[in-house]
Structure 1
Amino acid sequence: MSFQNLLIEHKGRIQYIIINRESKLNALNKATIAELHTAFYEAFHNPAVGGIILTGAGAKAFVAGADISEFAGLDVNAGRELARLGQSLVFNAIENGNKPVIAAINGFALGGGLELAMACHIRVAADSAKMGLPEVTLGLMPGYGGTQRLTQLVGKGKALEMIMTADMITATEAHQYRLVNHVTSAEELLPKAEEILNKILLRAPLAISAAITAVNAAAKDGINGFEIEMDEFGKCFKTKDLQEGISAFLQKRKPEFKGE
């Protein structure tokens, strides 16, 4: 499928999803949200894709927020539905996806852009990147999961400080706060993301998917994460990949997983 606001590139089993609205600093509008939903759905269901790297076009921005012009005239119900639809179609879909997603934060990740990066499983940032949730400067608050995911990543105190002050932080600070996993130079950003993803792609795909499910359960109210872990652990025993992993271990060779 062709997209108006995204570029799709393939490098072996890695699929790049690049938000391509450089003149708008890759801001998220409704059309881009819809295209992201389609792109991730197709990637998660494409057996040739092992994992995804999400980034922004150009050097200035990963995603510099939502398209604020689309907020004008919305009432309470429309605002709630906007947040609910975005979270359901994209942010929660990424977090709960069956394949690893790495955000390569190449520049500004603000508002919905930072929320998008936080929905990814791993975050790598260029040392020039800046991050923040500036919604309160507009009379808003984060609505795409930002209050929840930021709290899980950096803790309640730092999350409240970032949200209430609306201050931007540097990539180095984000790493110190455990908001991002790694910081690199701009030139090494994509190679680092590929390095991490290629290492993951050597592992058993179904086990990776199960691990994502179990780790996500730790943050869900009313869900016993230990039970989810035990269930997902048990399901691994019906896979051919486990048989291959055990055989390879006993034979002292590298396993060849097939996602079966």
Structure 2
Amino acid sequence: MNFENILSSTQNGITTITINRPSKLNALNKATIFELHEAFDAANKDADTKVIIVTGSGEKAFVAGADISEFANFTVENGGKLAAKGQEVLFDFVQNLSTPVIAAVNGFALGGGLELAMAAHFRVASDNAKMGLPEVSLGVIPGYGGTQRLPQLVGKGRAMEMVMTAGMIDAATALSYGLVNHVVTQEELIPLAEKIASKIMRNSSVAIGKAIQAVNANYTDGVNGFNIEIEQFGACFGTEDFKEGTTAFLEKRKAAFPGK
């Protein structure tokens, strides 16, 4: 699959998706959002892909924000449609993938960039990373899930401060807030993400997909997460992975999960 704004490659069970607009600090325009959707969708459907890593090209930015030139003259109706479509096509889509998504945040993750990182299932960052939601400095608010996911990750008070001040936090602060799981040098970033991915791949991909669904249910309005956990727990008993995992345990050997 050929893309203009991103790169996608698969090796050893890991698909790495790289936003590749270095001259624009990897800003998200409409075309890039749709290409990312296609790449994530293809990776999720690929039986050989067990984990997805998303990152940005170059050393300066993961994604430095949305491409403001595309919506500077939008009407109220246009703005609402922009947010709704973006959430549907990319941000909610990524959050609900059954394949684990790790965001490897290298440099600036601002606005839509931080929103993309937060849509991933968890985040690792380079020590030069800077994160923030600067939208109110432009007279608008985060529209790709930022006002919802940031409080879930760092708490209401910290999220309110970050949104209201439009300021950036550094990687060490993001780590202390729980916004990222690990901070390493830029050279160590992708190797760390791949190391974590290798640990994930030892386990049942079917069970992991069901765990993602159960965890996400806790953050979905009108859904009882405990009920979803019960349903998905029970569903695991009908899978080949469950049979292999329990059999391997009883036989004191390493499981060879078929992913079914």
**TM-score normalised by length of structure 1:** 0.99
| Deviation, structure 1 residue 33 | 0.5
Q: Which moved more, 1:3-12 or 1:203-212?
A: 3-12
CA distance in 2, matches of 1:223, 1:60: 40
Match in the other structure for 1:76? 76
In the TM superposition, 1:140-155 aligns within 5 A as 140-155=140-155
| Deviation, structure 1 residue 143 | 0.3
CA distance in 2, matches of 1:11, 1:174: 30
The residue type equivalent to 1:78 in the other structure is N
- What count of residue pairs does the alignment treat as equivalent? 260
Match in the other structure for 1:217? 217
Look up the SS of the partner of 1:62 in the other structure: strand
Match in the other structure for 1:251? 251
In the TM superposition, 1:152-231 aligns within 5 A as 152-231=152-231
Q: Does 1:127 align with 2:155?
A: no
In the TM superposition, 1:98-109 aligns within 5 A as 98-109=98-109
In the TM superposition, 1:235-246 aligns within 5 A as 235-246=235-246
Match in the other structure for 1:64? 64
Say what the alpha-carbon RMSD is for the aligned residues: 0.5
Match in the other structure for 1:38? 38
| Deviation, structure 1 residue 140 | 0.8
Look up the SS of the partner of 2:77 in the other structure: helix
Once the two structures are superposed, residues 160-179 of structure 1 have per-residue CA deviations (whole angstroms, 9 ceiling, x without a partner) of 00000011000000000000
Look up the SS of the partner of 1:200 in the other structure: helix
In the TM superposition, 1:4-43 aligns within 5 A as 4-43=4-43
Look up the SS of the partner of 1:125 in the other structure: strand
| Deviation, structure 1 residue 221 | 1.1
CA distance in 2, matches of 1:254, 1:122: 27
| Deviation, structure 1 residue 6 | 0.5
| Deviation, structure 1 residue 138 | 0.4
| Deviation, structure 1 residue 10 | 1.7
CA distance in 2, matches of 1:120, 1:77: 28
Look up the SS of the partner of 1:77 in the other structure: helix
| Deviation, structure 1 residue 74 | 0.7
CA distance in 2, matches of 1:57, 1:236: 38
Look up the SS of the partner of 2:237 in the other structure: helix
Gaps of 5+ in 1: none
In the TM superposition, 1:105-116 aligns within 5 A as 105-116=105-116
| Deviation, structure 1 residue 258 | 1.1
Look up the SS of the partner of 2:80 in the other structure: helix
Give aligned-pair identity as a percent. 60
| Deviation, structure 1 residue 73 | 1.6
Once the two structures are superposed, residues 189-211 of structure 1 have per-residue CA deviations (whole angstroms, 9 ceiling, x without a partner) of 00100011110011001000000
Match in the other structure for 1:137? 137
CA distance in 1, matches of 2:229, 2:236: 11
| Deviation, structure 1 residue 187 | 0.8
The residue type equivalent to 1:218 in the other structure is N
CA distance in 1, matches of 2:129, 2:20: 18
Look up the SS of the partner of 1:128 in the other structure: coil
Once the two structures are superposed, residues 229-259 of structure 1 have per-residue CA deviations (whole angstroms, 9 ceiling, x without a partner) of 0000010000011011111101111100011
Look up the SS of the partner of 1:187 in the other structure: helix
Once the two structures are superposed, residues 20-79 of structure 1 have per-residue CA deviations (whole angstroms, 9 ceiling, x without a partner) of 000000000000001011111111111111110000000000000000001122111110
**Which runs of structure 1 show a deviation greater than 3 angstroms over 4 or more consecutive aligned residues?**
none
Gaps of 5+ in 2: none
CA distance in 1, matches of 2:8, 2:228: 34
Once the two structures are superposed, residues 101-127 of structure 1 have per-residue CA deviations (whole angstroms, 9 ceiling, x without a partner) of 000001100000000000000100000
| Deviation, structure 1 residue 11 | 1.9
